[in-house]
Structure 1
Amino acid sequence: MTADQRLLLVHAHPDDESIGQGATMAKYVREGRGVTLVTCTAGEMGEILVPELEHLAADRDDLLGEHRQGELQDAMALLGVRDHRFLGGFGHYRDSGMKWHDDGHAVAADEVHDNAFWRADLTDAADLLVEVIREVRPQVLVTYDQFGGYGHPDHIQAHRVAMYAAQLAAVPSYRLDLGEPWDIAKIYWGAMSESRMREGLRALRAAGDTTTFEGMDPEGPMPFFVVPDEQLSAVVDGTDVVDRKMAALAAHRTQISVDGPFFALSNNIGAPAWGLEFFRIAKGVPGPTGDEGLETDLFAGL
């Protein structure tokens, strides 16, 4: 990694990165900044949207993780990201799975694999990431909020591991066998703007689409992953590379349908639907802001 400015992203499963920060990643790669992705599991417990690949499911051939590894490689090639890794190596941690709570958010499944990421020892997992942090030496880290966006146990664990590893990596006397200490200057949690989500839903409903994000009322309560605009700190405008993000989403074909909500929203309200990616700052000093009072670059002020 030779770029002067370097971004590290920590995500739970293949496809999470393209959904949350695909445009940011593509934009920064194009600008010559360093982008490193760490994925914590291979998503072995995910649902499969492609009928002819249903045999890969965990309760059948249990080969979905290997297949999603290939999907991730394809997605990263489309975004231009050359440095992408699995935490501890491929297969070190397994997707924990999930179920839906009556309140509409994800919770841990009734049965969790012995090697599930949800069961990982926090310090052991953090140490694996400390080594990456001290190697890459990023100025900016992006991960989930404390709820993992919608409660998925692996998203929550990825948040915990990323935040703890960032602290440990900066301690001058901690585990010097893992590399020279490095303090990450700014940490962000990915977010979705409430006003943009409502705007998108209104456009969908006005176009006669009542099935995309079914049950969500543009004037009603928003899901857990939607964040009030006053809590947002930064927005990265990747509308000029949003085609790469949409291509990366399509590469995750077992998980994301081209007829699904991501593409429906983009088709109805255009590139800003997924080209503008929002963030909450969790550590560091915000830099100069744009017209909307938000940083327009995660490296602002550094």
Structure 2
Amino acid sequence: MQFDGPRTLLAVHAHPGDESTTTGGMLARYARQGARTVVVTCTNGEFDDALSGATPGEVGHHPKAVAAHRRAELHAACDALGISDLELLGYHDSGHVGEVPQGGLCTIPVETAAGRLAALVEHYQPQVVVTHYSSHRDHMHVIRMAKLAVYRTGIPAKLYLTAKDGSTTIDISEVVDVKRQALRCHASQQVHGAFGLEEHYFRALDTTDAPLPENDLFAGITTSGPDLPRW
């Protein structure tokens, strides 16, 4: 399937840090190859841990201060991964459990939030959209947003969800150090430990008829525009 412009991948995530923990290797690999990589982060991460380790509701946890620090960590991680463009939707983190705060992502109608995401899809014209799957309520909301934005615009040829063992396997062995560096940028979350040399994805939408299983998110896609400079 032929597309104009450079290879472009748009990754939609709920919270700061998700881009590194769930898709960091894949993003670094395609950025290094010269593809345009766009990260959309939907919430500010107010309910993440504070730099001191204080959790929501504890003394020393100030949601606005946490959000500001998490945004700074996000920018640093995206720089480490070589991300071309970072877009912040600025919704309030809904938290894992309990009452969702006013303005929390889960309180925003899917059609409204997906409309903002669709505008970014129209702007960047990605051939591939990736989002992450988990039972967290913000993550589930983001999946609904991504699916609706993709179907509404009809622009992306493929939509992927992160998976433990999916239809698509991405070798990240050459960018392991880059992913590790991005994870270290999120110091307030104390993200550490070993991770695999592959990331797995489930192909939820495809208009290319590329055969499965595959090892390239852009399988079946050709572009006429040049990629970005490799790094």
Band the TM-score falls in, shorter-chain normalisation: 0.7 to 0.9
| 1:287 pairs with one of 183, 207, 210 | 210
CA drift at 1:253: 1.1
Letter in 1 for 2:200: F
**Do residues 125 (structure 1) and 113 (structure 2) align?**
yes
For structure 2, list consecutive stretches of 5 or more residues without a partner in the other structure. 222-231
Q: 1:223 corresponds to which residue?
A: none
> Unmatched 5+ residue regions in structure 1?
99-108, 171-182, 194-231, 267-272
Secondary structure of the corresponding residue to residue 110 of structure 1: coil
Q: Is the 8 A contact 2:12 2:42 kept in 1?
A: yes
- Cα 1:58–1:130, aligned 2, differ >3 Å: closer, same or farther? farther
Change (3 A) 1:244 1:3: farther
Larger Rg: 1
Tell which deviates more after alignment, 34-43 or 277-286.
277-286
Q: Is the 8 A contact 1:3 1:32 kept in 2?
A: no
1:298 and 2:221 are equivalent in the alignment: no
Residue 39 of structure 2 aligns to which amino acid in structure 1?
L
Q: How does 1:93-112 map to 2 (within 5 A)?
A: 93-98=91-96, 109-112=97-100
Given that 2:47 and 2:95 are in contact with CA atoms closer than 8 Å, whether structure 1 keeps it comes out as yes
Contact persistence 1:286–1:295 (CA under 8 A):
no
Pairing 1:276–2:227 present: no
- How do 1:44-59 and structure 2 match up within 5 A? 44-48=46-50, 50-51=51-52, 54=54
> 8 Å contact 1:57–1:64 — kept in the other structure?
no
Measured in 2, the distance between the counterparts of 1:288 and 1:112 equals 42
Q: TM-score, with normalisation over the residues of structure 2?
A: 0.86
Letter paired with 1:295: E
What is the CA-CA distance between 1:47 and the residue it aligns to? 2.7
Residues 11-57 of structure 1: CA deviation (Å, up to 9, x unaligned): 00011111111111111111111100000001111134x43x63x95
Aligned with 1:189: secondary structure?
strand
Residues 123, 157 of structure 1: alpha-carbon distance in 2 compared, 3 angstrom cutoff: same
Shift of 1:287: 2.2
- Verify the 8 A CA contact 1:286 1:300 in the aligned structure 2: no
Taking the aligned partners of 1:13 and 1:286, their CA distance within structure 2 comes to 32
| Structure of higher RCO (CA pairs closer than 8 Å, 6+ residues apart) | 2
Aligned ranges 1:224-243 → 2 under 5 Å: 232-243=166-177
What amino acid does structure 2 have at the position aligned with 1:10? V
**Structure 2 residue 144 is the aligned partner of structure 1 residue 168:** no
Query: Pick from 27, 31, 34: which aligns with 1:32?
Result: 34
Q: Is the 8 A contact 1:58 1:64 kept in 2?
A: no
Native 8 Å contact 1:141 1:186 kept in 2: yes
Deviation at 1:110, TM superposition (A): 2.1
DSSP-derived class of the 1:134 partner? helix
Q: Distance in 1 between matches of 2:220 and 2:127?
A: 11
Secondary structure in 2 matching 1:254:
helix
TM-superposition CA deviations, 1:169-228 (whole Å, max 9, x none):
13xxxxxxxxxxxx21011111123xxxxxxxxxxxxxxxxxxxxxxxxxxxxxxxxxxx
Q: Which residue of 1 is the match for residue 157 of structure 2?
A: 185
Q: Identify if the C-alpha distance between structure 1 residues 141 and 72 changes in structure 2 by more than 3 Å, giving closer, same or farther.
A: same
Q: Give the TM-score, by structure 1 length.
A: 0.67
Aligned-partner Cα distance in 1 for 2:211–2:98: 46
> Cα 1:111–1:298, aligned 2, differ >3 Å: closer, same or farther?
same
Counterpart-to-counterpart distance in 1, 2:35 and 2:172: 14
Q: Does structure 1 residue 75 correspond to structure 2 residue 77?
A: yes
Counterpart residue number, 2:188? 254
For the residues of structure 1 that align with 2:209 and 2:80, how far apart are their CA atoms? 30
Q: What amino acid maps onto 1:238 in structure 2?
A: I
1:247, 1:116 → 2: CA distance? Answer: 30
Q: CA RMSD in A?
A: 1.9
Change over 3 Å in CA distance of 1:126–1:42 after alignment to 2:
same
Which residue in the other structure is 2:227 paired with? none
CA distance in 1, matches of 2:183, 2:115: 30
SS in structure 2 of the partner of residue 113 of structure 1: coil
Moved over 3 A (4+): 56-60
Give secondary structure in 1 for the equivalent of 2:83.
coil
